[in-house]
Amino acid sequence: MTWAAALEDLRMHLKLERSLSPRSVEAYLRDLAKLRAYAEQQTPPLAPADVRLDDLQDFVTHTVRAGLAATSQARLLSAIRGFYRHLLREKVVREDPTELLDSPRIGRHLPTFLTVPEVDALVNAIDMSRPLAHRDRAMVETLYGCGLRVSELCALRRSWLHFSEGFIRVIGKGDKERLVPIGPEAIRQIERYIADERVHLPVKPKAEDIVFLNQRGGALSRVSVFNLVKALAVKAGIHKTISPHTFRHSFATHLVEGGADLRAVQEMLGHASITTTEIYTHLDREYLRSNILQFHPRAKRRA
């Protein structure tokens, strides 16, 4: 089987049988395109069924020398393993060459989060005299108040807003649906935006049910939200490197700091595994440790 045929077969498998989103499928295939390019440059060129463990080890060494980060290497190897497991099921290969392939060791990364005063400073940095300022305020309040991914915010629909019950419906990764509690401040800002600003936009046919729109009446892009958050951080004097996802980290961290049950946080974030959510307990412990080192008389460094 050629690379083109094998990758197209995998595309259909990911789309139809695993129900991955188009974005996830494309990310998967982009990673595998690196292996294909490497295999086709060998002498003679290697088809998918010709690749052996030593070829994959050479490929990994090649990516390391090219400066690929450990996290990117891990994602790449995950895609390759999935690819060869699929080929094994389809009997294109007789054995899986990835079985003995080692993954790079990845240190546990504690994500950046905002303090409550920093969140307030970002909100206050919004110039409420500008067009669509209420939309921007509503988006920030929803990102922080509900812990949404930026893709979930951009895809949010009016028919998914159940304000009387205090919930919104969210479609997350892998088209998984969840109900997320929404607080009164986020509700108030969304309702004000819809009543005062959205009603005056020239809504495009495919965007009638989308909550957050751009000035032309179309669905807001993820890039637009990124740019908004970056600009607000500069204006608020926040020097951390932040993105819309930072609000999600802040949402979870503040819940854990306040004593929220980890399982409840997992449900609200839409994490498939509680192991992913446990990163916020590490953030909480790091926060406590820094406070002890700063304020406890026996923990302070001596001059």
**Is 271 a known active-site residue?**
yes
Do you know the residue count of the chain? 303
**Is 248 a known active-site residue?**
yes
Using alpha carbons, list the distances in angstroms from residue 103 to 139, 272, 274. Answer: 38, 22, 22
Task: Name the active-site residue from 36, 134, 135, 248.
Answer: 248
**Is 245 a known active-site residue?**
yes
Q: How far apart are CA 107 and CA 130, in angstroms?
A: 43
Q: Give residue for tokens 């854990």.
A: 256
**Is 144 a known active-site residue?**
no
Task: Name the active-site residue from 173, 178, 204, 235.
Answer: 173
Task: Name the active-site residue from 34, 81, 230, 245.
Answer: 245
Between helix 244-257 and helix 116-124 the angle, nearest 10°, is 140
Task: Name the active-site residue from 28, 84, 193, 280.
Answer: 280
Task: Name the active-site residue from 149, 198, 249, 254.
Answer: 149
The vertex-282 CA angle with 266 and 75, nearest 5°, equals: 70
| Of the candidates 17, 19, 22, 81, the residue with the CA atom closest to the CA atom of residue 53 | 81
Catalytic amino acids?
149, 173, 245, 248, 271, 280
